[in-house]
């Protein structure tokens, strides 16, 4: 069986990763337009996280990326792949890692949660049965193992954010009461 040249596979892997990094960067920029101001807003609430909260939010991804940074180096000699592809891979992964740790902006409205520059309708989300202490874990319905959507907030704001998310998910009178309290 003839396999494609190892450098072609390296190029394809780097191009896919570059696409992911660019895609995530676009959503990162978009979040500032979707959530321009923080705090109570007409019809909802907006907040931001810090780098530490994002590290807590993405701890599993960070460990996976650490493995992904190291793994290609073990296969370079065996596969006769150019070192250039492993270096580019690592640079792109580090850029992606920085993007994960950048403070994010979030917001809740009567109909949506805004996270990572995207809007999620409340009916497409549910609270996870087991909630971590230092973040909020939502699940996207129908996404299977890709469903977890952790939400970060600074420690002093976590209780407020949990209340707004619960009100958004319950809707109706719960949402009205939250608006009246602000």
Sequence-separated contacts (24+) of 131-139 with Cβ below 8 Å? 134/53, 134/56, 134/158, 135/53, 135/56, 135/57, 136/161, 136/162, 136/165, 138/113, 138/165
**CA distance linking residue 136 with residue 113, whole number of Å:** 12
pLDDT at residue number 113: 93
Mean pLDDT computed over 50-57 = 89
**CA distance linking residue 143 with residue 14, whole number of Å:** 26
Mean pLDDT computed over 132-161 = 89
With CA atoms as reference, report the closest residue to 45 among 55, 54, 35, 53: 35
Mean pLDDT computed over 23-33 = 89
Phi first, then psi: what are they for 133, rounded to 5°? -75, -35
**Percent of the chain with pLDDT strictly greater than 90:** 50
Residue-wise pLDDT tens digits, 117-138: 889 999 999 988 888 888 899 9
The full set of domain ranges for the chain reads 6-181
Q: Any idea how long the chain is?
A: 182
Average pLDDT score over the chain: 89
Measured between alpha carbons, how far is residue 102 from residues 46, 135, 169 in Å?
17, 16, 27
């Amino acid at each position: 069986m003839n396999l494609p040249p190892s450098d072609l596979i390296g190029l394809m892997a780097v191009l896919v990763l570059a696409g992911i990094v660019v895609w995530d960067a676009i959503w990162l920029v978009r979040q500032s337009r979707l959530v321009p101001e923080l705090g109570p807003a007409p019809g909802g609430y907006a907040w931001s996280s810090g780098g530490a909260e994002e590290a807590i939010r993405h701890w599993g991804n960070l460990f996976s990326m650490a493995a992904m940074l190291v793994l290609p180096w073990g296969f370079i000699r065996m596969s006769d792949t150019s070192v250039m592809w492993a270096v580019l891979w690592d640079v792109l992964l580090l850029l992606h890692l920085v993007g994960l740790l950048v403070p994010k902006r979030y917001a809740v409205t009567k109909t949506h949660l805004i996270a990572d520059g995207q809007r999620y309708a409340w009916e497409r989300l549910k609270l996870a049965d087991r909630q971590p202490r230092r973040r909020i874990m939502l699940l996207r319905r129908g996404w299977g193992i890709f469903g977890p959507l952790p939400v970060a907030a600074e420690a002093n704001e976590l209780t407020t954010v949990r209340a707004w998310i619960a009100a958004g998910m319950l809707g109706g009178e719960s949402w009205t009461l939250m608006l009246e309290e602000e």
